[in-house]
A and B are shown apart, each in its own frame.
Chain A
Amino acid sequence: MALPSYTETRYRIWHYIYIAICSFVFFFLIAPLFVIFPLSFNAEEFLVFSEGMKNLDPDAFSLRWYKDMIYGTKNPWGLAAKNSFIIAIFATIGSIILGTLAALGLSSRHMPYKGIIMATLISPMIVPLIISGVAIFFFMAKAGLAATHTGIVLAHIILGTPFVVITVTATLSGFDHSVTRAAASLGSNPVNTFMKITLPLILPGVISGGLFAFVTSFDEVVVVLFLAGLENTTIPVQMWTGLREQLSPTILAVATCLILLSTLILVSAELLRRRSERLRGINR
């Protein structure tokens, strides 16, 4: 972004203001996440930087809140983490299967009423979560699935499929259909063609949609608050309760773990995106 030597002074000034604004916005976006790291190692119970921490005194730092998170007797984090992972994994599998099938149908040029069907399938992403929560709660209460893992998994499949539909449809938009015709002309049945030809090619899209579905389920709190009983508590529900009652440093320890998890997901999503673009022959 070096400026050419002939740039007038006022544009030079404007350019530096622009860089300053951008730096501020990037700082605004990313800095809040980094406040959590040091405070989660606080030796004291308060959520402010103690004098000892400011002076980098090693005694002011400790792992006590991480110990509390894992071994604390009254802590529900173990159960919550188990539930969160079980629910998110099943919801992801369900979303991937239903979403990929639907995306395959939607990408066919023979699909009737494409616009309205697409709008319906995407709607859970657009409708405010609170309304989805109320509607899904009414259904699950009638079906006798409130306060069960099954009910929450089904709810998260509803919320997760739009992401799979969108990413897989996007992958299929660059898909060369002559390869499936070639397979068919060589005697392959449709299922075999899908498993051997189509699926490997659209896999990056499927996995990245699955990642979205996983994160949506893992992070979802509004609908779970309506559906969950004490046995179905998840990490977000526990964080929500903790944040409403009192901010304890244990929550920050959990939050740090969640940030590490999201970094992991970000890296995998980014790698997948690049691989997908390479496969589809989009060069930048």
Chain B
Amino acid sequence: MSSETKQILTTDGIPLEVSLKKAEKKNKIKAFLLVAPLLLFLVITYIFPIGDMFMRSVDDRMVTNMLPKTFKAMEKWENLDELPPEEVYRGFYEDYKLLAENQQHGKLGQRLNKEKNGFNTITKKLFRQIKRKKIDESASLKEQINKLHKRWRDVEYWQAIKRTAPPYTASKYLKGMDMYFAADGSIAQVDEDRRIHRILWLRTLEIAFFVTLFCFFMGYPIAHLLATLPMKYSNLLMICVLLPFWTSLLVRTASWMILLQQQGIVNDFFVMIGLVTDDNRPEMMYNKVGTYVAMTQILLPFMVLPLYSVMKTISPSLMRAGKSLGGTPFVAFWKVYFPLTIPGIGAGCLLVFILAIGYYITPALVGGASGTLISNQIAFHMKTTLDWSFASAMGLMLLTGVLVIYWIYNKLVGVDNIKLG
């Protein structure tokens, strides 16, 4: 606004523009203050800990802190194909002696052994020599240490120590994809028969995809029926969708465990109709079949509800118009009704897929060995092997996948359009 035009003033003499901006700002702060408690709470208890997970997953400061003098001396080690100079040996000796005094040398040996097999033996040998005070600190340490074991004369072992120098590592992420850093620093694949994680990732994707597909093919017809039936019938049928939705996940899993067991009702039924013989009942639990059946039933309401809320808004006259213009019921459905339900399909499928990809309880109970998913592996490392950094790394890999889907969902549907019940 140019200064020549006459400014509009409020009653207290302040220009209206300034006054408005001030009020606007005040409202903004007011609105933000209402959100602030929850936002702050979530950031402290939830968002930061997820960041903490990331720090844990790349943290590799243990050796860095244990061998400070070694790594300082290694800066002067120029030709990496030859054995390091005397200073490096001296630095390593001094670091190791300090660790031995503090009873920390075992940890270092184990960690280095992970980097290159055979370290445990030669560090223990060094430890015994130090304990018996057989090492003369005034003479060349390089010669004395090299004499202890032929591996100390192998440059690859010194290179392995050097590789542990950086405080951060991506090795846990590589491990999650069945890869590792080879001796020369390049990325290598794990032997084919030991690639367990890749199988799990693929299986997780496969199960999530097929569960979504099953939910779609089962959910679409009933959502359509619910949306087109008169209110008094559809309310009654809606209970069939909502009761499982509100019922405990463990209760529903328990009921599938009863139904699918070898002496269970489903098998009884198969025997009755002559599909299988009584002494040859198929195993339907503790494998993929169990996971598929139980997960489909448990996640089906999450498909039906968004579909229903979209279908409810489609006027039945559109189908009648399609038919009156000469389309057969199939053509009218395919060209008129189906395209209008696509937002609901997107919402339902993405919701089910996101939920399925991170499923834990049901696969752990009915999945057995061939039906477990990546979540079960994360829980295994959290609780049994206590390799928390690896669990964090895999968790974050899964989270990245989910966030990509969430982002697509947000673009297509918008999070504020999620409807519950």
Question: Which A residues are closer than 8 A to B by beta carbons?
Answer: 1, 11, 18-19, 21-22, 25-26, 28-30, 32-33, 35-36, 39, 47-49, 98-99, 101-102, 104-106, 108, 110-112, 117-124, 126-132, 134-139, 154-155, 157-158, 161, 163, 165-167, 169-170, 208, 212, 215, 218-219, 221-222, 225-226, 236, 239-240, 243-244, 247, 251-252, 255, 258-259, 262-263, 265-266, 269-270, 273, 284
Contacts and interface: CB of A to CB of B under 8 A. Distances in A.
B238 to A, nearest CB: 8
A206 B288 CA distance: 40
Given A105-B31, A269-B421, A30 B360 contact: no
B44 to A, nearest CB: 8
Contacts of A35: 255, 258-259, 265
Given A105-B32, A135-B46, A262-B248, A36 B391 contact: no
A97 B359 CA distance: 29
Contacts of B354: 126, 128
A188 to B, nearest CB: 16
Interface string B239-277: 111111011111111111111010111000000000000
B48 A266 contact: no
B39 A120 contact: yes
15 contacts: A30-B244, A33-B255, A35-B255, A47-B261, A49-B265, A131-B398, A135-B53, A139-B46, A161-B42, A225-B379, A236-B248, A239-B250, A247-B257, A247-B258, A258-B247
A108 B33 CA distance: 12
A273 B39 CA distance: 28
Nearest to B351: A126
Interface in B80-115: none
B27 A108 contact: yes
Nearest to B364: A244
Nearest to A130: B375
A98 B37 contact: yes
B360 A11 contact: no
Contacts of A128: 354, 357-360, 375, 398-399, 402
Interface in B29-84: 30-39, 41-50, 52-53, 56
Contact of A262 (B34, B225, B246): B246
Closest 6 CB pairs of A and B: A128-B358, A105-B34, A105-B35, A108-B31, A110-B27, A135-B49
Given A35-B258, A36-B255, A47-B258, 17 more contacts: A1-B228, A28-B297, A29-B241, A101-B37, A101-B38, A110-B24, A119-B415, A120-B42, A127-B399, A128-B398, A135-B53, A136-B45, A158-B45, A221-B361, A252-B254, A262-B251, A266-B243
A269 B246 contact: yes
B225 A22 contact: yes
Interface of B: 24, 27-28, 30-39, 41-50, 52-53, 56, 218-219, 221-222, 225, 228-229, 231, 237, 239-244, 246-259, 261, 263-265, 297, 300-301, 329, 354, 357-361, 364-365, 375, 378-379, 382, 388, 391-392, 395-396, 398-399, 402, 406, 410, 415-416, 418-421
A111 B249 contact: no
B361 A240 contact: yes
A129 B410 CA distance: 20
B391 to A, nearest CB: 6
B38 A134 contact: no
B143 to A, nearest CB: 48
A112 B28 contact: yes
Contacts of B53: 131, 134-135, 138
A6 to B, nearest CB: 12
B418 A36 contact: no
Contact of A243 (B56, B254, B396): B254
A147 to B, nearest CB: 14
